[in-house]
Structure 1
Amino acid sequence: MHIILLRFGSNKSAAPDHMASHKDWIAKGLADGVFQCVGSLDAGGGAVIAHGEDTDALMRRVQADPFVKHGVVKAEVLGVDVNRTIPALDYLMARAPVG
């Protein structure tokens, strides 16, 4: 599992220009079943919980985010080795292929 932190970058003021395509990027991640949860950070920016995609593929996906491409946000991708969950989230313990 990965947690993606999207913190505002130097080009934050351009967010309205890229919001529609950023929302399309989020919708694609959800439709692909990779994004499990997407939300806003209290301090500004956003966070995504991702699962089922190896780190390299996820990094390519993150770099394709229009907000990342245009410097609206800086992305930080954190790998999480999940070892305990509530039963409904047990699937998060399955590891994606490495690579």
Structure 2
Amino acid sequence: MFVITLRFADKARAPQFMDAHKAWIGRGFDDGVFLLAGSLQPNAGGTILAHNASPEAIAARVQDDLFVAEGVVSAEILAVTPGRTDDRLAFLKA
């Protein structure tokens, strides 16, 4: 499982790439890789919870986001090995 943080580096340019960024997020959900996407508060960027992919595939996917490629955000990918989950999230331990 991966926690991906996208922290604004050049927020003023975000509107220019927002449609492409939203489409990128949509592809992540359509591909079954993204489980959650949301905003970092207060208005600091975003976070994505991802699974079902190798670290290399996650890194490549993150580089495909125009927000990352154009320097709108800086990305950090944290690999997490779930040790304990609520029963509703047990699939994350697989």
Which TM bucket (shorter chain)?
A: over 0.9
The 2-side partners of 1:64 and 1:46 are apart by 16
The 2-side partners of 1:51 and 1:57 are apart by 10
Identity %: 47
Structure 2 residue 39 is matched with structure 1 residue 40: yes
Task: Give the counterpart letter for 1:49 in structure 2.
Answer: L
Report the counterpart of residue 67 of structure 1 in structure 2.
Answer: 67
Say which SS state the counterpart of residue 3 (structure 1) adopts: strand
Q: What per-residue deviation string (whole Å, max 9, x for no partner) do you get for residues 53-94 of structure 1?
A: 000000000000010010000000000010111111001112
TM-score in terms of structure 1 length: 0.91
| Displacement over 2 Å in runs of 4+ | none
Q: Is the 8 A contact 1:12 1:71 kept in 2?
A: no
Task: Give the counterpart letter for 1:50 in structure 2.
Answer: A
TM-score in terms of structure 2 length: 0.96
| Structure 1 gap ranges (5+) | 95-99
| Structure 2 gap ranges (5+) | none
Say which SS state the counterpart of residue 23 (structure 1) adopts: helix
